[in-house]
Structure 1
Amino acid sequence: MSVVIADLGTSCRADLGPDHPPGPERAVEPQPGRNPGLEGALHAATTRLVRSVDALADRAYAEPSLLPGWSRAHVVAHLALNAEALARAVRGVLAAEEVAMYDSDESRDADIEDLAGSSPTELRSRLLGSTTVLAEALGALPCDALETEIPRTPDRAQVFVAGQVMAMRWHEVEIHHADLDAGYHRTDWPDSFRCVLLGRHAERVPATLVATDLGRTWQAGPGTPIVSGTAADLGWWLTGRGDGEGLTTDGTLPRIGAS
């Protein structure tokens, strides 16, 4: 799904591709051009994330995050490894070589578990380093390479394009920053991200969505319930987090798996 981010001062589309554990991952259509507004949004989101991680006390890394079964260390490890994987894939595009994000789903999960067991110092360093190498790789990506396909794994079961990487990473950073439960909440998401998030996930649920704070509606088919609430509460629910707290409906609230 593509959504236009008018809030970011550009007519380019931001496509949010696969990699949002622990739920299903999906590929989406190409992003047609560079997006300076999206670059700024990702940079700001990354800066906020790094500051939150740096501010965590060492003992806090082993404490639970908001993701079932994952500590804060797991979330930081995933964010670092996700950036490294995206950077590796983009560097492959720059070298005119097809390089998958991950060797396999199993190796991805094992790497997260391994890195989550590292010291807080190592996790902080790995996260900062990964965001730097990804920014450098994206900065070197020419416009004529943006539609180059990148496989998520070597079997090419899921494929995205290089022009989607920046928006994919923005999604990862904003969602998992809130998952950290370290002082940054869904209510802190920028309006531009909330709009993109709802646009992307609206089709997951058979309901008309009304974001009361944005004045926006995502219309579903006739006979479906109307679900209303703030964009942050709708987005949290649409990604399978929480049980719909803060939302109202004229029917039964659909159940959604995590993404």
Structure 2
Amino acid sequence: MSVRDWMDRGTGLFLAAVDGMGDDALDGPTPLPGWTRRHLVAHVHYNAEALRRLVHWAATGQERRMYESADQRAAEIESGARLHPSELRALVHGSARALAADLDALPERAWSHRVVTAQGRTVPAAEIPWMRTREVTVHAVDLDAGVGFGDLPEEVNAALAAEAAGKHAAGGAAAVLAAWLTGRSTEAPDLGPWL
């Protein structure tokens, strides 16, 4: 299964979970501090739009950052969270389709073009499908609507675990993580904030 397959499958899981909830359920909480399910759906919609800007950058060479600023990102999520449920659902479906179409149309030569992530990392455009996979799969679980990590392909879980372990290790938790993951410690490390 390719990373693009992971992205498409994760997108399907996320959208099915959103569609399976009643309108009132969108007001429910998520594990993300201060975010309802509405915020999460709005975030996934605007993430697709932000990634579309990176695809445009890769295709044309015209720089388009994912977000103008952290404040702009937060404001659009808050605004999206106030939309009528049917409008919010239509937006998240539409942006998912548009991102997939943009990726399908990206010329072969453009996949190696460098773009900058919201965290400031410079990466090849070939990373965009993984960036989207991470968003839709983890947030499908965060919706708490019947999707768990066990519903994801094992390869996706392995990639998520490796990436999370790498980030935590780089953040100073390498020793405690190594001890726990190698079975030398029975106590799970306190890894702190969300990734």
TM-score computed with the length of structure 1 as normaliser: 0.68
Q: How many residues get paired?
A: 190
- Give, in angstroms, the shift of residue 49 of structure 1: 1.3
Partner of 1:181: 144
Q: Normalized per residue, which structure has more helix?
A: 2
Matched residue SS, 1:160: strand
Which residue of the partner structure matches residue 196 of structure 1? Answer: 159
| Distance change in 2, residues 1:187/1:258 (3 Å) | same
Distance in 2, matches of 1:129 and 1:252, equals 40
- Alpha-carbon distance in structure 2 between the residues aligned to 1:173 and 1:113: 19
The gaps in structure 2 that reach 5 residues or longer are none
For residues 256 and 227 of structure 1, the distance between their equivalents in structure 2, rounded to whole angstroms, comes to 17
Gaps of 5+ in 1: 1-7, 9-36, 210-219, 230-247
Deviation at 1:42, TM superposition (A): 1.3
1:171-224 deviation digits (Å, cap 9, x = unpaired): 101001100111111222220111111221223132576xxxxxxxxxx3xxxx
Contact 1:83 1:169 in 2 (8 A): yes
Residue 193 of structure 2 corresponds to which residue in structure 1?
Answer: 257
Change (3 A) 1:192 1:125: same
Structure with greater contact order relative to length (CA < 8 Å, sep ≥ 6):
2
Q: Which amino acid aligns with 1:198?
A: A
Counterpart in the other structure of 2:103: 138
CA RMSD of aligned residues (A): 2.2
Query: Which residue is equivalent to 1:3?
Result: none
Supply the distance in 1 between the matched residues of 2:82 and 2:122 (Cα, whole angstroms). Answer: 30
Q: Secondary structure at the match of 1:146?
A: helix
Among all aligned residue pairs of Structure 1 and Structure 2, give the percentage whose two residues are the same amino acid: 33
After superposition, the C-alpha distances for 1:18-56 in whole angstroms (9 at most, x for unaligned) are xxxxxxxxxxxxxxxxxxx12222111111211111111
- Give the match's secondary structure for 2:64: coil
Q: Secondary structure at the match of 1:206?
A: helix
Greater percentage in strand: 1
Deviates further, 200-209 or 71-80: 200-209
2:165 maps to amino acid:
A
1:47 alignment partner, SS class: helix
Aligned partner of 1:110 among 65, 69, 75: 75
- Runs of 4 or more, structure 1, over 6 Å off, are none
